Every structure is written in C-alpha cells, then in structure tokens.
Structure 1
C-alpha cells in the first residue's frame, strides 16, 4: 500500500513537472518568438504591438473573471485546463490555414489563453496537497525555466533551416501534450469546505476582502512591469553600454539557468522563511538590481544585474503562489490565483506603454530611471503588507 502511494505521488509530480515544462514552451513560442514570427509573416510593428498589448490586456481582465466564475459554479481546475488546452490546440491548427487577417487574431487568442492557463496550473499543484500528496511548486516551476533555457537554443536553430511556421508546430505539439497530461492527471472531486459561499457576488472580489493580498498584488504588478521592461528592451539597455545582439542570447541563457536554483530550493527556503518575507526580501533586491542597472558603465554591469536576477524573479513567482494559497480561503482560491497570475499580463501591458513611449520620446537613461522608481514603489507596497496579519 505504501509503495502504491509513493508511486502515485511520483507519477503526479512527474505530470506536474511536465505541465510547467510545456507551459514554458508555450511562453517561448508565443511570447519569446512571437514578434519575430509575426514580423516574418509581414505584419507591421504597429499591428504586432497592438495585438500583443490588447491580448495581454484582455487576458488580465479575463483571468480573475474566470477564477470567480469557477469558484461560484464549482468547476474544477482540471475542467478549465482541458477547455483552455482544446482552444489552444484549435487555434494553433487554424493558424496553418488562416489568411493573414484571421491569423493575427488567432495569435492574439493564443496569448489570451496562455495567460489564463497559468493560475489553474498553480491551483492544480496545491489541489493534490489537500489530499496528502506532496507536490513541489518550486521544482515544477524550475523545470519550466530549464525547459525554456534549453528550447530557446533548439527553437532558434530550427528556425534557421525551416519555414517560419515551425514555431507554430512547436505550439501545436505542446497543446496536444498538455491536453493529454491534464487528462491523465487524477481528479478526486472538488474540495468541499464548510465556508464555501454559493451566493458569492462578482463585486465581492479578493482585492476588497484581503488587504495584505491586495498590497502584495500591487507590488507584484510593479515588479512584473520591471521584469517585462528589462526583458523586452534588453537590447536597448545593452546597446546603451556598448553591447550588441549577441549579448541578448547570452543574457537569456544565463537568466533561464539561474532561475532553476532558487526554484528547486524554494520548498526548503519556505521551511525557514515565510512566503511573504521571501517576497519582501526579493523586493529589496529588485531595488538593488535597478540601481546596478542605472549605474552600469559597460556590459559587465548589466550582467551583474542579471546575476542578481537569482534573488528577484525566481523568488517572487513561487512566493506569491504559496502566499496566495496560504492566506486565501478555499472558496476564493481560484480567484486569488487568477488575480496573482494576471500580474504577468498586466506587466506586459504597462511595460510596452511605458518602455515604448519613453524610448520614442526620450532615451534609455530615462527608462533606467523608471526601473528604479518602479522597483522602489514595489518595495514600499511589499513592506506595507507587514501592517496586516495574514
């Protein structure tokens, strides 16, 4: 009996690792190579920017609404992931045959669905904990970072010798595999709690009910703006200190690999420090990192800031997921994870608005100053959350 339990636990963890690896592949093909994919299909920068920005905006609005609907109607995270995987599969299939006017809309839909998938992956991880099956979000997310780092190189090489649609082939295969794995994951029924409120109203959302969560949510939005600006305009930041395109490839590889260490060790860190305190520590390092970027005189200064990435992004991502799971009651968990998941797409939206306008009207130096301001504000909101008991 004990052997069967351990075997079941290993299988479930393997599936969870695989899901985050597949999600990383989606992120790579849809967002990592998205601009290049649409550019090669002759879309203008304005069309590409509008598509990505509007899709991210729609996704950030839809995510909490889906989370609230799931909590109200008592749908399962598994049902939602199956539906979202099917939509992603159909969209990627249609891209092969769609005319350009429809193709870009389908690509936008894939961006929307990508954002909606993430919070329900997180909810699935903690679902099994309720039934005594130990899962590890940090290791699962770490496998995602490892997959991203490896496939960034693989996809890059395959694009060179193949038609641009090879990028969509990766998306198609990923959606098929995700659908299969979600289907194979065991489901033991919805978690019932005595406090579940079936009369929950859409106006009574988690942001109005849990002040500490709200402050961390705002802080997370600011740090995701920081992250998206740095990742999206990295070429401009490197060129400002004498770097070039080759530095981007090196930087992306370093970022992917150094994320693995803290994510794999995150569960052990949680035994010594709470999720909220880890988030606050990471927020302080965001301020330090922004100052290092602002004062960088050459590429080594930017690379130093990338090394400091190990204390920021790969800490706050699992920290917010664990924090949300710990303080939000069962009846609001899907909504809470959806709100926290939406911070990534909110970051993309404002990063493009802030970064694009600053570079168009002013210069990179002002962009770097904005990173310092954003990180300081994020740190202030994080520290303010200490005023409230979880």
Structure 2
C-alpha cells in the first residue's frame, strides 16, 4: 500500500516525531480549550467569544489549503519552512499576548492571530510525517498521534490546576513555553533527520499533473475525494453537536459536570489502542475499509446516545470512540496519501482538516439553534439523520475514488 513505511517502524524517528505531536497537541489544547477562560477574564461575553471562535475556524479552513498549496509546490516555501514559520508565529503571538494584556481589544486580536497560526500548523505536521514515510522512513504515525492525545489529556488536567491556583493572567506564558517546546522539538527532528528532497525521475508528459489547483479544479480532478470530504463535514457536524453540548445531554439523564468529565475520559482512553496499533491494522485491512467502519461507528454512537436514558448507556456510546474517531484520525491522513497525486498531498491534508473544522462550526451553530427551540432528543434525532447522510456520502465518495483510481491503472 502506498505511503506505508517501506521499512519497519523505527523507534528513534518515531520517538522524535512523537515528541512534536506530544508538544503540539499540548499547545493546541491549551490555547483552544482555555480561550473562553482567558477571554471571560477580559470581560468578553460568551456570545462575543463564540463569534471570535467561529471567525477563527472559518478563516483557518480557508487559510490551511492556501498554505498547503505553497508547500505542495516545493518551490520557495517548502513544508518544512512553512511549518517553522507558523510555529514561530505562534510562539511570538503567545508572548505578545502577555504584554498586550492592558488593552482588551488588542489582546483579543492577538489571541485570534495565535489561534489562526496554531491551527495552520496542524495539516503541515501531518504532512511532515507522511513526507518522511513516503521516503521510506519508519515512522509509526498512529503511535505518534496517540501520544498527542495522551499529552493533550495530561495538559488539560495540569493546566486546569495551574489556572485555579494562579488565575488566567499567566496563560499566555504557559502558551509561550508549550509553543517554544514544540518549535524546539521540530528543529531537533529536522536536524536529526534531514528533510527529504524530491529527487524522483521526471514524470512522462502524459502523466504530469498541474501542481497548483484552485478549489474548483481540485473538486473536478478528485470528485470522489470531494464527495468523501462532504461526508466528513456532515459526520463532524453531529460529532461536535454531541461534544459541545455533552453537558446538556448528561444533565438530561440526571448527570453532572463530574459525569461529563468521566464520559470524555472514557472517549480519550478508548482511542489509544487503535491509534497505537494503526500501522498494524493497515497491514491487515484496506484503508478504505477502516474509514467506512469509522463512519458507521460515528453514526452508531449518535444512535446510542439518542436512546440513552441512563449514564451507563452514554458511557457505552462514548466507547464507540474506539471505532470512530480513533480510526478516522490516522486513517484520514493515510487516505489522502493513497488517493491523491503527491503534488496535491498537503492540499488534501488541509482540505480534510478544513472539513472537520467546518463540521465543528456548523455543529456548534446547528446544535445551539436546536437547543434554543427544541429538546435534547430532537437535537440528537437531527444529528442522527445528518450523520447517516454523512456516512453514505463518505462511502459513495470512497467507492467513486477507488473506481477512478482503478480506471487510471487500466
């Protein structure tokens, strides 16, 4: 299978790549999860914070493919240099955030820039791992990504205690430290394993493809993959409806914030086994099969949550994270590299991230609207229908992309 390591997974390169993931997802979780805490302390209303986050996510969904297109072209700005630029920006904005705390409006704008630069690193980090795997380096991507999930969970607990003890004013300094560590981890990785250049033979003229594609050109060239992405958006609408409004779902069956924490902890723990062993799964199952299983698992999770009348059933539903999110996250990264031409790989990674981001924004808006005028049960019923549509679109897109690939080989 294309883009599975040509050598056995190497513990040394996997460890150093995992170090980047571990530090990045700590920085990600800190800046993203504590934005409300920080801005509320600056006297911003919840609605204002919601607008800031919506604008940030929408702009990041636009910016990520643009940045990726530059990296795909491998000319002036390589993937390596772009990743270092945006990590440096994130580090700089973090310390700037601390020194602009006297002005709330400037402070909020700097936080917006910090989030935008931080989110742009995400597809570049995934693409970096795939670049090395393509060149034969034995990176266990699933293991590295699982380390990100683990450190994310640990950071949430530690930072929560620090904020309780010291207040939110010091958050920018914590951000600075985490982004500095991420940047240092990236530099260490690149020095230990020099960035691989494309020194492949020139492609025949009849096989060459245009490197820089507009959105319209991309959707036309990769119609199956585009349909798959639309399915991802639908699935992540419902996925985020449940995550964002979990406290309301928990309260509807008599639970509390403590039970919500337990539900999220279950989801985080059950993710690890399949993420850790994803490379082994790829040797036994087709990537398309794993993604289809994940799509149905997302929908099953919604259905079970809809019928839940007790905390136990909600906890069981959270257990489906093992077959849904845990398979989708590494699977979607590998799927891009098997479905698209290498010149469009990073743009594909960015579009995938953008699809999940758009799903998050729409999930927040749709869920909030439904809860304002209907019930929890109605919200989950709508979510189930949306998830079914997304699952079918994903399957159709995957099958269409597979047929197109087979036709090109004939």
Corresponding residue of 2:25: 24
Corresponding residue of 1:3: none
Give the 3 Å change call, closer, same or farther, for CA 182–248 of structure 1 in structure 2.
same
Query: Could you tell me whether the CA contact under 8 Å between 2:91 and 2:179 is conserved in 1?
Result: yes
> Is 1:251 aligned with 2:263?
yes
| Alignment partners' CA distance in 1, 2:211 and 2:17 | 32
Question: Mapping of 1:95-110 within 5 angstroms?
Answer: 95-98=97-100, 99-110=103-114
> Is 1:85 aligned with 2:83?
no
Give the 3 Å change call, closer, same or farther, for CA 10–205 of structure 1 in structure 2.
farther
Instruction: For structure 2, list consecutive stretches of 5 or more residues without a partner in the other structure.
Output: 1-6, 406-410
Query: Could you tell me whether the CA contact under 8 Å between 1:125 and 1:136 is conserved in 2?
Result: no
| Alignment partners' CA distance in 2, 1:39 and 1:180 | 31
Give the 3 Å change call, closer, same or farther, for CA 130–73 of structure 1 in structure 2.
closer
Corresponding residue of 2:378: 366
| Alignment partners' CA distance in 2, 1:167 and 1:275 | 40
Query: Could you tell me whether the CA contact under 8 Å between 1:358 and 1:366 is conserved in 2?
Result: yes
Q: Secondary structure at the match of 2:168?
A: coil
Indicate the larger mover: 198-207 or 55-64: 198-207
* CA-to-aligned-CA distance 1:235-274 (integer Å, 9 cap, x gap): 1111111111111222222222221111001111111111
Query: Could you tell me whether the CA contact under 8 Å between 2:60 and 2:119 is conserved in 1?
Result: yes
Query: Could you tell me whether the CA contact under 8 Å between 2:253 and 2:309 is conserved in 1?
Result: yes
Give the 3 Å change call, closer, same or farther, for CA 230–331 of structure 1 in structure 2.
same
> Is 1:187 aligned with 2:199?
no
Q: Secondary structure at the match of 2:198?
A: coil
Q: Secondary structure at the match of 1:259?
A: helix
Q: Secondary structure at the match of 2:255?
A: coil
Q: Secondary structure at the match of 2:212?
A: coil
Corresponding residue of 2:249: 237
| Alignment partners' CA distance in 2, 1:78 and 1:199 | 18
Corresponding residue of 2:42: 41
Give the 3 Å change call, closer, same or farther, for CA 124–388 of structure 1 in structure 2.
closer
Corresponding residue of 2:408: none
> Is 1:312 aligned with 2:324?
yes
Query: Could you tell me whether the CA contact under 8 Å between 1:279 and 1:320 is conserved in 2?
Result: yes
| Alignment partners' CA distance in 1, 2:31 and 2:182 | 15
Instruction: For structure 1, list consecutive stretches of 5 or more residues without a partner in the other structure.
Output: 1-5
Query: Could you tell me whether the CA contact under 8 Å between 1:207 and 1:214 is conserved in 2?
Result: yes
| Alignment partners' CA distance in 1, 2:318 and 2:94 | 33
> Is 1:52 aligned with 2:69?
no
Normalising by structure 2, report the TM-score.
0.89
Indicate the larger mover: 19-28 or 286-295: 19-28
The partner residue of 1:227 within 239, 250, 254 is 239
Normalising by structure 1, report the TM-score.
0.93
Corresponding residue of 2:152: 148
Corresponding residue of 1:206: 218
Query: Could you tell me whether the CA contact under 8 Å between 1:30 and 1:111 is conserved in 2?
Result: yes
Give the 3 Å change call, closer, same or farther, for CA 199–303 of structure 1 in structure 2.
closer
Indicate the larger mover: 315-324 or 111-120: 111-120
* CA-to-aligned-CA distance 1:129-183 (integer Å, 9 cap, x gap): 2332110111011101111122221112112111213333321111101111222
| Alignment partners' CA distance in 2, 1:311 and 1:9 | 26
| Alignment partners' CA distance in 1, 2:71 and 2:62 | 15
Number of residue pairs the alignment of both structures matches: 384
